Amino acid sequence: MMIETKDLTKKFGALTAVEGVTLSVAEGEVFGFLGPNGAGKTTTVRMLCSLISRTSGEARIGGYDVGDDEGSLRARKMIGLVSDNVGLYEVLSAYRNLEIYGRLYGVPEARRRENIEKLLTMLGLWEKRDVAAGTFSKGMKQKLAVARALVHDPEVVFMDEPTANLDPESAKTVREFILELKKERRTIFLNTHNLDEAERVCDRIAILNTRLMATGTPGELESMVGGKKVVVELARPSEAVVAALNERYAGFTVAPGGTRLTFAPSDPDGQIPDVVEAVVRAGGRVRYAGVEGSSLESTYLQLVKGEAR
């Protein structure tokens, strides 16, 4: 595992910001961290990046214990961080900002130039490379901060709300960039409030509210509060259709009137074409066939409110 924690806890005096978090993130995985404001997401990232100490528990990056000096130093070399505060040198150009950080990480000159050009090009900033960062829009600054976190080719990238307050076009660019990093098998730990974003780019998602509420793929989380069901609307009632579907799928509900059929196959999203084909073969006419049921949003809200445990 590239990231591992066990009973990770952080207290600020009497306030417990993070309580007993145990999780693991595999190499090459995009791992989403969801939670309301004040849930402890940023505090967790800061502990994992050795920016603040932990109160108790364990945390490792690439097998290195981030709680001791030697392990922390080795882990930091593997990490890139996009923080909630971009913190650029605003009087310097975009290129110079990245060059400084590349030098700090000891990236050789030829590789540094190659990385800077690649990153600025991917994020649509190459034409602005000689422009002072202080003149950039908020979205451009955020994209430059993303490039800065990657200039030394880190194996693990922590992103704390990388698309927060960005316009749709800039947010789309950053999401596409995350997917490109995923192709490179980099491990990405993504803090986000954006449920749609998490569902699009993350392999697994953890929901945090000071303590860890649940972890799983988007589909696994959705199934925790009822799961998805297939709903078929027929043009007219048909006992033959119901009988045909009953042979293949269990747990039918037939609404009054006999035209609305609801059931839960093993793969609701993937089996819609098979369901429609079975209806047609049995002589039925489909007015509507689709998937209804819990969403990631409903799961998130129920878990955070403590209604699902």
Task: Give domain status of residue 300, yes or no.
Answer: no
* Phi, psi torsion values for 253, nearest 5 degrees: -125, 125
Adjacent-strand bridge partners of 207: 34, 214
End of a domain among 218, 249, 272?
A: 218
Q: Write down how long the chain is.
A: 309
- Considering the domain architecture, whether residues 189 and 240 belong to the same structural domain is answered as no
Domain count, the chain: 2
End of a domain among 192, 218, 244?
A: 218
For 270-298, how does the pLDDT look when each residue is reduced to its tens digit (9 = 90+)? Answer: 888 988 998 999 999 999 998 876 678 77
CATH label of the domain that carries residue 289:
3.30.70.100
- Considering the domain architecture, whether residues 267 and 166 belong to the same structural domain is answered as no
- Considering the domain architecture, whether residues 140 and 18 belong to the same structural domain is answered as yes
Q: How confident is the model at residue 308 (pLDDT cuts 50, 70, 90)?
A: very low
- Considering the domain architecture, whether residues 116 and 183 belong to the same structural domain is answered as yes
Q: How many whole angstroms separate alpha carbon 115 and alpha carbon 95? A: 11
- Considering the domain architecture, whether residues 285 and 176 belong to the same structural domain is answered as no
Q: How many whole angstroms separate alpha carbon 91 and alpha carbon 113? A: 20
Q: How confident is the model at residue 250 (pLDDT cuts 50, 70, 90)?
A: confident
For 164-205, how does the pLDDT look when each residue is reduced to its tens digit (9 = 90+)? Answer: 878 888 888 888 889 888 888 899 999 988 888 898 899 999
For 213-249, how does the pLDDT look when each residue is reduced to its tens digit (9 = 90+)? Answer: 999 998 888 777 666 788 899 999 998 998 888 888 8
Q: How far, CA to CA in Å, does 159 sit from each of 145, 189, 192, 216, 284?
A: 10, 6, 8, 19, 50
- Considering the domain architecture, whether residues 110 and 16 belong to the same structural domain is answered as yes
- Considering the domain architecture, whether residues 45 and 177 belong to the same structural domain is answered as yes
Task: Give domain status of residue 301, yes or no.
Answer: no
Range of the domain at 284: 228-293
The strands making up 3-12's β-sheet, listed across from edge to edge, are 15-25, 3-12, 56-61, 64-65
Task: Give domain status of residue 298, yes or no.
Answer: no
End of a domain among 218, 246, 264?
A: 218
CA angle 57, 60, 61 (to 5 degrees): 155
User: In the prediction, which pLDDT does 304 show?
Assistant: 83
Task: Give domain status of residue 304, yes or no.
Answer: no
CB 296 within 8 A of CB 218: yes
CATH label of the domain that carries residue 177:
3.40.50.300
Q: How many whole angstroms separate alpha carbon 32 and alpha carbon 34? A: 6
Query: Which are the contacts of 59, defined by CB distance < 8 A and separation ≥ 6?
Result: 4, 5, 6, 8, 47, 48, 65, 66, 67
For 29-82, how does the pLDDT look when each residue is reduced to its tens digit (9 = 90+)? Answer: 999 999 988 999 999 999 999 999 999 999 999 999 998 889 999 999 999 999
- Considering the domain architecture, whether residues 138 and 108 belong to the same structural domain is answered as yes
Q: What is the mean pLDDT of residues 140-152?
A: 94
Q: How confident is the model at residue 149 (pLDDT cuts 50, 70, 90)?
A: very high
- Considering the domain architecture, whether residues 124 and 235 belong to the same structural domain is answered as no
Two tokens at 159? 């992103």
